Amino acid sequence: MTTKRREVAGIRPYDAPAGGWGALKATAVAVRTQMDMMEAPVTLMRTNQPMGFDCPGCAWPDKEHRSTFQFCENGAKAVTWEATKKRVTAAFLAQNTVTSLLEKSDYELENYGRLTQPLSYDRATDTLRPVSWEAAFDRIGTVLRGLSPNQTEFYTSGRASNEAAYLFQLFAREYGTNNFPDCSNMCHEATSVGLPRSIGIGKGTVSLDDFDETELIISIGHNPGTNHPRMMGTLHEASRRGVPIIVLNPLKERALERFTDPQNVIEMATYGSTRIASSYYQVKSGGDTAALKGIMKALLALDEAQRGAIDHDFIAEHTQGFAQFSDDLRNTSWESIEKESGLQRAELQQVAAAYAKSRATIVSYGMGITQHNKGTANVRLIADLLLLRGNFGKPGAGICPLRGHSNVQGNRTVGITEKPSSQFLQNLQDVFGFTPPREHGHDSVRAMQAMIDGQAKALLCLGGNFAVAMPESERSFQAMKQLDLSVHVGTKLNRSHLLVARETFILPCLGRTELDIQAGERQSVTVEDSMSMVHASSGKLKPASESLRSEPAIVAGMAMATMPQSKVQWQDLVSNYDAIRDLIEKTIPGFDDYNKRIRIPGGFRMPLPPTERKWPTETGKAMFSVFKGVSEDVKIQADDVLRLITLRSHDQYNTTVYALDDRYRGVFGRRDVLFMNDIDLEKHGLEHGDLVDIETVVSDRKLSMPGITVIAYDIAPGSVGAYYPEANVLVPLDYFDEDSGTPSYKSVPVRVTRSDKQNQLP
Ligand SMILES: Nc1nc2c(c(=O)[nH]1)N[C@H]1C(S)=C(S)[C@@H](COP(=O)(O)OP(=O)(O)OC[C@H]3O[C@@H](n4cnc5c(=O)[nH]c(N)nc54)[C@H](O)[C@@H]3O)O[C@H]1N2
Ligand SMILES: Nc1nc2c(c(=O)[nH]1)N[C@H]1C(S)=C(S)[C@@H](COP(=O)(O)OP(=O)(O)OC[C@H]3O[C@@H](n4cnc5c(=O)[nH]c(N)nc54)[C@H](O)[C@@H]3O)O[C@H]1N2
Ligand SMILES: [Mo]
């Protein structure tokens, strides 16, 4: 970038490495603005410790939960945000109508602090008013009994514990529905659907030890410096061992370039840093399908030239479908691969050559792979790549999906799914004596469509911010208001709570960090991390208010009020969570000696057959996939159509915005920007700092976002980026992966034009 750019407010390059002193400073600010200084150090030290709570930040594991406190800036933000001193009081709510609160930003809403008592919406005054727990439960029960079960949607956000999630699915299934929209449907559903088809189980296969032994890491479509910060320690270590790290990502992400480990005294003292990516390929948004096919095509060519680039013995013994798979690769042209991926043949050949040399490879991936309308196919292509060299069931190798919410994987394991297996339903029937519904239910997109069509009448949310997380805000916000009943179990106020239905209840719960006493005993819950480790989590802080209840207690309260004749002993389960775990053990495989094993520090690992080269697929073999062609289904392709990526900033947790900076990308105090490559700026006749309008290219309706400041950024040409959740107004609800139902949040076809508002700039 040689040309001198105009100054744009809040935009300045951040030249420092990720981590380091910048991260320490940011942590201090988070603590100062949210927490009591006396409590903060103790609370932070308890994160991910044997007798402490599991970090609500991300699902990256810890070495046996025994390590000394691992510093993590964004983990600290997640903890301090929950352990804040700020409170939403009845007096505050009496003074602020729901209509006026809806004018506030997502950041302001949560920043009012913790919810302190159950609330119900009062239409006459347009305010949220305190209500007793019993009155709330009674009314929820009465409304639900008046509906047919399939008119109710049971939404889960992946922070809920195994115990709360298990009770939630039990409630819904005894009530009579499999409608389980779930944050996973917007996140790693492509993994949950794609991997079972390839290797027989929808989970990652690596452990932290594998990172110690790996010879190559390929990182595709995830941003660990922000979203899985504890992974940075692992990558840092690997890089220092000389392990090549190949990155495929349209954006230059600072943490994937270089990182200073705050635990490393020398690096900190000398202002040093470690390079992370050994090579960085800026694939186009949605271009991974083509890139992966290109790498594998090159690998086959290498093998033809000199046998040994692929593992023929492994393929013969353990897989099926190789012939069709390799035929398809041979028939895919380099021209189409280069065009769609935005990468050169020679670059993809380099990746193939590095891969052919490595005896143990890990591929890690995140939302850059799954949130596309070919997300499931993308995941399967990654599995294919690993199968080609037998990178399952050996040390240092495997697939590593980076999960989202800290217990999203556990929620799935304990039965939050709209497509339950018949065996699981039978187990419920045998143990509880009620007949669960067999027909499949709604995922997130289908639930929202049912709400828009008026088929769904009630929505119960175990956490989360459903309407804001979903695509097409205009329609999803309206759908919330059409409901007869919405119920939100949450810790902080958010927009979904305020998009009130005919009747709305907000039920405040204990957070992870807080002490949970039932029948006089301290309780712990359990969670499963990205590497299938299940362990206990137990908070110690004094609850934010005396009126809070635990998530299991709230779910049980609603269930008892809805089903007075229930066959489940809800009260006993709430009195002692061991009793919930006993039921999980009885109905779900892999939880043998559950209560015993979670009392061992570090917990235990769920079964992962592919790590022993066992493949619980229909054929008993690992399956290659065939992806015809190279591209996503883009309804409208034209020269001036760009692909929009919706992104998280460094200062946010999903719809929770902690602050307005995105330090590593050089954006400060604002979120109303569009990242664009210099080449595209020039093509569009735009300059860094111009005001633009974005419009989604859909045929039948207008989705637009006016008045955004376009800024020059090192992003693949043809791709642009804007922040989630603001940009959800642009994501079409009906543009999703058919296999997994995941919205295409990372490849929305858009046009960008100079804004009329430009003239109004000062
Ligand atoms: N601090 C913090 N931690 C979090 C979260 C948070 O919001 N804040 N969210 C949690 C949740 S629920 C989740 S799911 C995870 C999300 O963690 P990530 O998977 O890291 O999610 P995103 O921020 O959406 O970033 C996606 C990355 O993919 C790249 N990308 C976008 N499109 C493409 C593409 O087409 N191809 C490729 N190869 N790359 C692409 C983007 O440039 C970006 O670097 O993090 C979890 N942890
Ligand atoms: N455009 C676009 N949209 C996306 C994405 C994207 O990349 N781009 N990513 C998608 C992804 S990966 C995900 S996972 C979804 C996230 O969707 P959700 O999981 O629905 O959203 P969150 O923002 O994580 O939910 C925040 C709320 O959870 C509540 N909460 C926090 N802690 C607790 C707790 O301990 N218990 C309870 N009961 N409630 C709690 C608080 O009230 C808070 O306001 O968004 C999706 N939407
Ligand atoms: Mo997620």
pLDDT at residue 395 in the model: 98
547 found inside a domain: yes
Residue of the CA atom closest to atom 33 of ligand 1: 368
Residues contacting ligand 1 via CB (< 6 Å) = 57-58, 74, 187, 220-223, 226-227, 248-251, 253, 283, 285-286, 288, 366-368, 402, 404-405, 645, 647-648, 652-654, 746
Determine whether the shortest distance from the Cβ of 742 to ligand 2 is under 6 A: no
pLDDT at residue 762 in the model: 40
Confidence of residue 705 (pLDDT cuts 50, 70, 90): very high
- Which range, of 124-138, 620-634, 658-672, averages the lowest pLDDT? 620-634
Ligand 1 mean position to 320 CA, how many Å? 32
Which of 655, 720, 733, 748, when mutated, tests ligand 2's pocket best, judged by the most ligand atoms within 8 Å of its CB?
A: 655
Residue-by-residue DSSP string for 531-581: T-EEEEE---BPPS-TT-B-HHHHHHHHHHHH-TT-SS-HHHHHH-HHHHH
633 found inside a domain: no
Say whether pLDDT at 122 is over 60. yes
430 in the same domain as 346:
no
Residue of the CA atom closest to atom 37 of ligand 1: 221
720 found inside a domain: yes
Give per-residue pLDDT as tens, 240-256. Answer: 999 999 999 999 999 99
Q: What is the CA radius of gyration of the chain?
A: 25
CATH number at residue 704: 2.40.40.20
Question: What is the longest distance spanned by two Cα atoms in the chain?
Answer: 78
668 in the same domain as 649:
yes
Which of 109, 186, 731, when mutated, tests ligand 2's pocket best, judged by the most ligand atoms within 8 Å of its CB?
A: 186
Q: Which has more pLDDT, 634 or 222?
A: 222
Q: Residue range 72-101: average pLDDT?
A: 90
Residue of the CA atom closest to atom 18 of ligand 2: 464
585 found inside a domain: no
Q: Which residues contact 279 (CB under 8 A, 6 or more apart)?
A: 244, 246, 247, 350, 351, 354
> DSSP character for 518?
E
pLDDT at residue 37 in the model: 57
465 in the same domain as 439:
yes
Ligand 2 mean position to 339 CA, how many Å? 35
194 in the same domain as 178:
no
388 in the same domain as 307:
yes
pLDDT at residue 52 in the model: 72
Which of 472, 491, 729, when mutated, tests ligand 2's pocket best, judged by the most ligand atoms within 8 Å of its CB?
A: 491
Ligand 2 mean position to 28 CA, how many Å? 25
Q: Residue range 492-497: average pLDDT?
A: 97
Contact 204, 399 (CB under 8 A): yes
Tell me the backbone φ, ψ of residue 122, rounded to 5 degrees.
-110, 110
Confidence of residue 580 (pLDDT cuts 50, 70, 90): very high
pLDDT at residue 761 in the model: 46
Say whether pLDDT at 637 is over 50. yes
Which of 105, 110, 654, when mutated, tests ligand 2's pocket best, judged by the most ligand atoms within 8 Å of its CB?
A: 654
CATH number at residue 238: 3.40.228.10
Confidence of residue 345 (pLDDT cuts 50, 70, 90): very high
650 in the same domain as 550:
no
142 found inside a domain: yes
Tell me the backbone φ, ψ of residue 104, rounded to 5 degrees.
-80, 160
Nearest ligand by distance to the CA of 742: 2
Q: pTM here?
A: 0.94
Determine whether the shortest distance from the Cβ of 409 to ligand 2 is under 6 A: no
507 found inside a domain: yes
CATH number at residue 506: 3.40.50.740
Distance CA 429, CA 439 (A): 15
Ligand 2 mean position to 54 CA, how many Å? 17
Give per-residue pLDDT as tens, 196-232. Answer: 999 999 999 999 999 999 999 999 999 999 999 889 9
290 in the same domain as 232:
yes
The CB density around residue 72, as the number of other CB atoms within 10 Å, is 27
Say whether pLDDT at 65 is over 70. no
Say whether pLDDT at 462 is over 90. yes
pLDDT at residue 46 in the model: 66
Residue of the CA atom closest to atom 38 of ligand 1: 221
321 in the same domain as 455:
no
Q: Residue range 158-177: average pLDDT?
A: 97
Q: Where are the beta strands (DSSP E) in 427-528?
A: 458-462, 485-490, 503-508, 517-518, 521-522, 525-528
377 in the same domain as 246:
yes
Distance CA 760, CA 426 (A): 65
689 found inside a domain: yes
Give per-residue pLDDT as tens, 409-457. Answer: 999 999 999 999 999 999 999 999 999 999 999 999 999 999 999 999 9
Q: Which of 403, 429, 463 is the last residue of a domain?
A: 403
Distance CA 366, CA 190 (A): 10
Distance CA 721, CA 704 (A): 15
pLDDT at residue 55 in the model: 75
Ligand 3 mean position to 406 CA, how many Å? 9
565 found inside a domain: yes
524 in the same domain as 391:
no
pLDDT at residue 617 in the model: 98
User: CA dist 100 to 192, 199, 485, 726, Å?
Assistant: 40, 51, 21, 19
Determine whether the shortest distance from the Cβ of 730 to ligand 2 is under 6 A: no
221 in the same domain as 157:
no
pLDDT at residue 759 in the model: 47
Domain count, the chain: 3
Ligand 3 mean position to 157 CA, how many Å? 9
Say whether pLDDT at 687 is over 90. yes
The percentage of the chain sitting over the pLDDT mark of 90, rounded to a whole number, equals 80
Q: Which of 403, 431, 454 is the last residue of a domain?
A: 403
Distance CA 619, CA 516 (A): 46
Ligand 3 mean position to 187 CA, how many Å? 4
Ligand 2 mean position to 654 CA, how many Å? 5
| Triad 312, 318, 321: Cα angle to 5° | 80
Q: Which of 525, 542, 575 is the last residue of a domain?
A: 575
306 in the same domain as 232:
yes
Give per-residue pLDDT as tens, 374-385. Answer: 999 999 999 999
Distance CA 427, CA 647 (A): 41
Say whether pLDDT at 48 is over 60. yes
* Element containing residue 752 per DSSP (H, E): strand 748-754
- Residues facing 642 on adjacent strands: 750
What domain range includes position 679?
642-754
| Triad 662, 444, 229: Cα angle to 5° | 30
| Total number of residues shown for the chain | 762
Confidence of residue 120 (pLDDT cuts 50, 70, 90): very high
Nearest ligand by distance to the CA of 648: 1
Determine whether the shortest distance from the Cβ of 184 to ligand 2 is under 6 A: no
